[in-house]
Chain A
């Protein structure tokens, strides 16, 4: 197998185009058939799977939301009992946060970041495959449990003592905690891959100030994941230990601490909000350019705002705990830091407004969603500043006001940009365009339906309706608004249905897309739609922030990579000067075995502590198989 490293016939120098692409296609291909599909490490295939799965979870979570709205449409409704309702609102929250919002952002990044930085695969592609299988297993665990009347019922943040051993009967809270473990593992894996891809695999010439804003956003997000997730790893593990073997992490009578739960959770949970929002903000900054027909205003400001948000994200968590009885000084500090987040958020909003102001706008569906995002997110941000103030928060804590606030921030701030992104990058994902007419219809239905559904919740909250109640009495003044909200939700659901129909239909029979249908400036549009398995026949060389606008006719490329094995260019961190040719791992089935072994160990450990001992044996076997040195070319230095 060991050929001479510099065998001239295998490099891509002085080779005709078709022979080059044929050789690359052979080297990078994913074999057809089920085995090939299970063993693939192509970031595009895995990214598409990730996105598809996340949208399945979005649809399932939407069904739960619809059930809750039917139940609350009238007082004393009998559709759902209190126990089922508890499970449904917990499932809705946990599913949307852990199985949809975070994974879908990482999924889009798994697909796009390697294309946007001009490389051939994500760093650690086998880890990437592993992370998808783990994510799928975690989602399957949660929904299987729900189908068995075993779904968590303790709220998506599962406060102890409610979720603790004394009050959380059965295995419901353990299902929640272990689902968290699955999503933690997959999120951490993707975060590490993205950091390495962005730092070391950028196309030659893509200096730090030529990185697309979405890629910057994913870099900051990945660091947030790496620093925030360990807190909840610790926490979900402590909870399972408390519940299964009787440790006392959260038992005050034995020196444990109940408040510790809230601190650990929100030390993760608040950065989590930005783990969801920052990618969305990055998408907007990137997508706004082709639709405003000008570069985004204030690149430096946008990137600095992302970084500032990322740092501030770790100094805000106590604002979720204002009614927990913390010292006044602490409350004041966290009020100030919470309000400070408005500064970087404001910088971004004004940069977007300036871009739109000066642009020649092209009103296609993605731009509509972007404008919808700006409007909705600003409203959500304003109520955010309101609840950052302790006296106000004390009044509206745990009411529908908070429900309205975070749906404005999460749907307005993340789902709208995501829908824009799906419409925008759909041609790159599938090779076909989404229908513009259906897209505009779905935008207006979603935008109107969303505001009509969630704005009245502010008023309900001020009228004192608590969140998480399964019903309310007829003499309370809430039923008019609740009925209105439930009817508006029909519009919102219709909009999402239309979006799904549009996506499914367009994927089959949509108009075939050009390589760069939006005339966009970033590198992912330099290759075909959808890209070939090797992404770029030649690695592009970047000379500006908008390579496809500034070098319209002739994009410079680098050569010298081998065609008979998977190779990509490693560049320096800041200046992106070429450093080395690096092998990229080939397809492997071992990530799947490792994921199955890990899933068995984690699920078993809900029921018996011995699972950690005996379950670790298959995991070790799978990892040994995964890392067994094969003496194949990919192991050459």
Chain B
């Protein structure tokens, strides 16, 4: 009985969070590719289908963990490290050069950005880009998501994503706030 009540409480979130969509229908994948960006390519709106699906790339555990694997497989680590940055910017310090919205991150991965961020649009499927974007956003999140991945079986350099490392590792740094780069965290 207690199990039922608590189970039902977790139910609404649970269903969506645990589903595993192994292959997107091609028309949906096409629709997901059609984001509306602001003219400065920062911020914008995801396609309607993204909301119809229930924002699957932010709340679904499987998508987030796939994003984490893609982060390793596509060499994101070589510039962004474990999320604290390297030759590229970090995600853990709480500062987003192009804002923390999913569409901005999606656009950064798909189309690339100035100063060295390559475009991955031709190398990954739309589904994968969304998964990776969701994971990157999760790294910098100040609240541990229940659906966020936990640690990997490797040397640990920082707390895993489900422990909200950005809350611990926030670093204002020397650079001032850039209002033109989107809302501050």
Find B22's partner among A83, A246, A251 (CB 8 Å cutoff): A83
Determine if B152 and A137 form an interchain contact, defined as CB atoms under 8 angstroms apart.
Answer: no
Q: Does A161 contact B (CB under 8 A)?
A: yes
Determine if B61 and A169 form an interchain contact, defined as CB atoms under 8 angstroms apart.
Answer: yes
Cα of A219 to Cα of B102 in the assembled complex, Å: 61
Q: Does A459 contact B (CB under 8 A)?
A: no
Measured between beta carbons, the chain B residues less than 8 angstroms from A169 are: 20, 61-62, 64-66, 149
Determine if B4 and A140 form an interchain contact, defined as CB atoms under 8 angstroms apart.
Answer: yes
| A-facing residues in B1-31 (Cβ within 8 Å) | 1-4, 6-8, 10-11, 14-15, 17-20, 22
Question: Across the two chains, which residue of chain A brings its CB closest to B160?
Answer: A246
Determine if A144 and B65 form an interchain contact, defined as CB atoms under 8 angstroms apart.
Answer: no
Determine if A599 and B154 form an interchain contact, defined as CB atoms under 8 angstroms apart.
Answer: no
Cα of A387 to Cα of B160 in the assembled complex, Å: 41
Cα of A252 to Cα of B155 in the assembled complex, Å: 9
Q: Does B54 contact A (CB under 8 A)?
A: no
Q: Does B172 contact A (CB under 8 A)?
A: no
Question: Across the two chains, which residue of chain A brings its CB closest to B9?
Answer: A603
Determine if A141 and B151 form an interchain contact, defined as CB atoms under 8 angstroms apart.
Answer: no
Dominant secondary structure at the B interface: helix
Provide the B38-71 mask, 1 if CB < 8 A to any CB of A, else 0. 0000000000000000000000011011100000
Determine if A244 and B14 form an interchain contact, defined as CB atoms under 8 angstroms apart.
Answer: no
Q: Does B150 contact A (CB under 8 A)?
A: yes
Measured between beta carbons, the chain A residues less than 8 angstroms from B146 are: 171, 607
Q: Does B163 contact A (CB under 8 A)?
A: yes
Measured between beta carbons, the chain A residues less than 8 angstroms from B150 are: 165-166, 242-244, 246
Provide the A440-460 mask, 1 if CB < 8 A to any CB of B, else 0. 000000000000000000000
A170 and B62 in contact, given A83-B22, A149-B19, A596-B2 (Cβ under 8 angstroms): yes
Question: Across the two chains, which residue of chain A brings its CB closest to B14?
Answer: A148
Report the interface size for chain B: residues with CB under 8 A from the other chain. Answer: 35
Q: Does B86 contact A (CB under 8 A)?
A: no
Determine if A166 and B15 form an interchain contact, defined as CB atoms under 8 angstroms apart.
Answer: no
Q: Does A339 contact B (CB under 8 A)?
A: no
Find B11's partner among A148, A171, A172, A254 (CB 8 Å cutoff): A148
A170 and B6 in contact, given A165-B149, A243-B150 (Cβ under 8 angstroms): no
Report the interface size for chain A: residues with CB under 8 A from the other chain. Answer: 39
Cα of A548 to Cα of B150 in the assembled complex, Å: 62
Find A252's partner among B10, B18, B153 (CB 8 Å cutoff): B153
Q: Does B159 contact A (CB under 8 A)?
A: yes
| A-facing residues in B144-171 (Cβ within 8 Å) | 146-147, 149-156, 159-160, 162-163
Measured between beta carbons, the chain A residues less than 8 angstroms from B153 are: 161, 164-166, 250-253
Cα of A263 to Cα of B65 in the assembled complex, Å: 28
Measured between beta carbons, the chain B residues less than 8 angstroms from A82 are: 22
CB distance from B92 to the nearest CB of A (A): 15
Cα of A595 to Cα of B147 in the assembled complex, Å: 28
| A-facing residues in B61-116 (Cβ within 8 Å) | 61-62, 64-66
Determine if B154 and A137 form an interchain contact, defined as CB atoms under 8 angstroms apart.
Answer: no
Measured between beta carbons, the chain A residues less than 8 angstroms from B1 are: 136-137, 140, 596
Measured between beta carbons, the chain A residues less than 8 angstroms from B163 are: 245-246
| B-facing residues in A236-294 (Cβ within 8 Å) | 242-246, 248, 250-254
CB distance from B49 to the nearest CB of A (A): 21
Determine if B6 and A246 form an interchain contact, defined as CB atoms under 8 angstroms apart.
Answer: no
Question: Across the two chains, which residue of chain A brings its CB closest to B15?
Answer: A148
Measured between beta carbons, the chain B residues less than 8 angstroms from A140 are: 1, 3-4, 7
Q: Does A604 contact B (CB under 8 A)?
A: yes
Q: Does A81 contact B (CB under 8 A)?
A: yes
Cα of A148 to Cα of B149 in the assembled complex, Å: 19
Q: Does A150 contact B (CB under 8 A)?
A: yes
Determine if A246 and B159 form an interchain contact, defined as CB atoms under 8 angstroms apart.
Answer: yes
Measured between beta carbons, the chain A residues less than 8 angstroms from B152 are: 165-166
Determine if B155 and A253 form an interchain contact, defined as CB atoms under 8 angstroms apart.
Answer: yes
Cα of A268 to Cα of B141 in the assembled complex, Å: 40
| B-facing residues in A141-157 (Cβ within 8 Å) | 141, 144-145, 148-150
Find A150's partner among B14, B154, B159, B162 (CB 8 Å cutoff): B14
Determine if B151 and A251 form an interchain contact, defined as CB atoms under 8 angstroms apart.
Answer: yes
Determine if B19 and A604 form an interchain contact, defined as CB atoms under 8 angstroms apart.
Answer: no
Cα of A136 to Cα of B154 in the assembled complex, Å: 38
Find B147's partner among A165, A170, A244 (CB 8 Å cutoff): A170
Determine if A83 and B20 form an interchain contact, defined as CB atoms under 8 angstroms apart.
Answer: yes
Determine if A170 and B2 form an interchain contact, defined as CB atoms under 8 angstroms apart.
Answer: no
Q: Does A600 contact B (CB under 8 A)?
A: yes
Cα of A144 to Cα of B12 in the assembled complex, Å: 12
Q: What would 28 A/B residue contacts be, using CB atoms closer than 8 Å?
A: A81-B22, A83-B22, A136-B3, A137-B2, A140-B3, A140-B4, A144-B8, A148-B7, A149-B15, A149-B18, A150-B14, A161-B153, A165-B149, A165-B152, A166-B150, A166-B153, A169-B62, A170-B147, A171-B17, A171-B146, A246-B150, A251-B153, A252-B153, A253-B155, A596-B1, A599-B2, A603-B7, A607-B146
Q: Which 5 A-B pairs have the closest CB atoms?
A: A170-B61, A165-B150, A144-B7, A140-B3, A169-B65
Extra contacts, 7 of them, besides A81-B22, A82-B22, A169-B149 (Cβ < 8 A), are A136-B1, A150-B15, A165-B151, A165-B153, A170-B18, A243-B150, A595-B2
- Residues of A participating in the B interface, judged by any CB pair closer than 8 Å: 81-83, 136-138, 140-141, 144-145, 148-150, 161, 164-166, 169-172, 242-246, 248, 250-254, 595-596, 599-600, 603-604, 607
